[in-house]
């Protein structure tokens, strides 16, 4: 391809056009900047320098000078709420809603922000009323999420189920796992009041929503035990193996108690030993250890823990082994073994925890609903040491 010299004439023209366009943009930018009040730049500067208190005062001054700055009102209200100054946020958004010149979209935004203010302030009834008004707007899905949060706080599980179903229809996603837990919560209340038939109805609903809901089978077993049918309870708890065998550890003590009530202690221990072989668990080991200790004596309990420790070495297992050794040790050795056990036990306290997979919150007891991030079924039923070392 040959070079044409007349192309050189086009380069100055391109540079000229570029320079002209830049001049126009700069003039427009300077013009817009001059039209902004000084308070705006002061507030922006304070924000950039991490001085939110001074930034707020500067923006408030700007709002007083130019009450038409709607977006700045919204930004200020959100800033107040994040800083915990909920009353100021409420006043800001209430004043916005009273303005006659507010566009419909801006009014919905103000309503949504005010509802969040009420929720932050703990005024749940007011927040619920405003979030319900967002139906059919751009904020409907967010409003439903906040409504669900309110109903969970109030433990209004029927409304939580209804709201979750609405969310699914709006978002196209499934809340089946959460809905199943809401039914389980309703069933737990019925079990507390010995209303067994109502509890079963709710648990059947839970399993129809999520057939892998292990909690529903656990509660069905509790229902059968409550009515004096331990054999039926055992069958429900054994069904956990096909849902999620990790949850067997949570009901191991109940299974052993059910077999004991039937006079079949050894059969119950044999079943749990099989589970331990297939699904190693420290909680399961603890239950079997105590069962063997009570039913067969210290020697069998010691042998069980020794074999399990060889298969799955953990500090928590070592703690149990030392406990078993103490039971059979001569008097002269017990003091020394007790010192070692106390030392190991101190270290195991930080390992015998459950940890939320969503937020990492650790707790000594098992939760179906994380108290930190409020998500359902995020706690695997295994201690942290087991999960970290793959026991």
| DSSP-assigned letters across all residues of 176-221 | HHHHHHHHHHHHHHHHHTT-HHHHHHHHHHHHHH-TT-HHHHHHHH
- Which DSSP helix (H) or strand (E) runs through 234? helix 230-238
Note every long-range contact of 169-178, with CB atoms under 8 Å and residues 24 or more positions apart, other chains counting: 170/140, 170/141, 170/144, 171/141, 176/209, 176/210, 177/210, 177/213, 177/376, 177/377, 178/376
**Full pLDDT tens readout for the chain, 391 residues:** 444 544 444 445 445 445 444 444 434 433 444 444 444 444 444 444 455 555 555 545 544 444 456 777 777 778 778 888 889 888 878 877 887 777 888 889 989 999 999 999 999 999 999 999 999 899 999 999 999 999 999 999 999 999 999 999 998 899 999 999 999 999 999 999 999 999 999 999 999 999 999 999 999 999 999 999 999 999 999 999 999 999 999 999 999 999 999 999 999 999 999 999 899 888 888 888 888 888 888 778 778 777 777 777 766 666 666 676 666 666 666 666 676 666 666 656 666 678 899 998 988 888 999 999 999 999 988 877 565 544 4
Closest to 305 measured CA to CA, from 245, 251, 338, 292: 292
Instruction: For residues 72 and 62, give the distance between their C-alpha atoms in angstroms, rounded to a whole number.
Output: 9
Q: What is the DSSP letter of 149?
A: H
Burial 228-240 (b: 16+ CB within 10 A, else e): eebeebbebbbeb
Q: Encoding tokens for residue 60?
A: 């408030």
Residue written as token pair 């069933």: 187
Strand partners, 369: 376
Instruction: For residues 317 and 312, give the distance between their C-alpha atoms in angstroms, rounded to a whole number.
Output: 8
Specify the CATH number of the domain 67-171: 1.25.40.10
Q: What does the CA dihedral 258, 260, 261, 263 come to, rounded to 10 degrees?
A: 130
String of DSSP letters for 272-287: HHHHHHHS--HHHHHH
Residue spans of the domains in the chain: they are: 67-171
Instruction: For residues 237 and 10, give the distance between their C-alpha atoms in angstroms, rounded to a whole number.
Output: 84
Instruction: For residues 310 and 215, give the distance between their C-alpha atoms in angstroms, rounded to a whole number.
Output: 32
For residue 355, give the 3-state DSSP assignment. strand
């Amino acid at each position: 391809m040959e070079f044409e010299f007349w192309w050189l004439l086009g380069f100055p023209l391109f540079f000229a056009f570029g320079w002209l366009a830049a001049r126009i943009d700069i003039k427009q930018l300077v013009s817009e900047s001059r039209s902004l009040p000084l308070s705006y730049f002061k507030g922006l500067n304070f924000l950039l320098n991490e001085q939110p208190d001074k930034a707020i005062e500067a923006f408030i001054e700007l709002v007083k000078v130019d009450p038409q700055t709607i977006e700045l009102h919204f930004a200020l209200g959100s800033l107040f709420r994040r800083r915990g100054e909920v009353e100021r946020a409420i006043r800001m958004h209430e004043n916005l809603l009273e303005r006659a010149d507010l566009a419909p979209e801006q009014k919905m935004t103000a309503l949504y922000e005010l509802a969040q203010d009420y929720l932050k302030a703990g005024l749940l009834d007011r927040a619920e009323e405003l979030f319900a008004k967002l139906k059919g707007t751009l904020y409907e899905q967010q409003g439903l999420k906040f409504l669900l949060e309110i109903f969970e706080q109030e433990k209004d599980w029927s409304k939580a189920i209804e709201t979750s179903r609405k969310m699914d229809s709006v978002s196209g996603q499934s809340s089946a796992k959460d809905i199943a837990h809401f039914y389980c919560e309703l069933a737990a209340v019925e079990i507390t009041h010995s209303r067994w038939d109502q509890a079963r109805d709710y648990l059947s609903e839970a399993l129809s929503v999520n057939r892998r809901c292990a909690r529903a089978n656990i509660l069905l077993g509790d229902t059968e035990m409550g009515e004096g049918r331990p054999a039926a309870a055992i069958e429900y708890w054994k069904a956990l193996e096909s849902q999620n065998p990790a949850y067997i550890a949570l009901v191991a003590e109940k299974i052993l108690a059910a077999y004991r009530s039937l006079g079949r202690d050894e059969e119950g221990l044999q079943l749990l030993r099989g589970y331990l072989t297939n699904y190693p668990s420290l909680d399961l080991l603890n239950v079997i250890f105590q069962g063997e200790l009570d039913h067969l004596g210290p020697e069998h309990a010691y042998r069980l823990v020794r074999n399990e420790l060889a298969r799955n070495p953990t500090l928590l297992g070592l703690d149990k082994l030392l406990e078993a050794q103490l039971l059979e040790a001569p008097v002269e050795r017990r003091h020394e073994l007790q010192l070692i056990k106390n030392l190991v036990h101190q270290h195991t306290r930080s390992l015998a925890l459950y940890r939320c997979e969503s937020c990492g919150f650790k707790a000594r007891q098992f939760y179906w609903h994380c108290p930190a991030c409020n998500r359902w079924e995020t706690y695997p039923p295994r201690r942290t040491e087991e999960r970290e070392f793959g026991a």
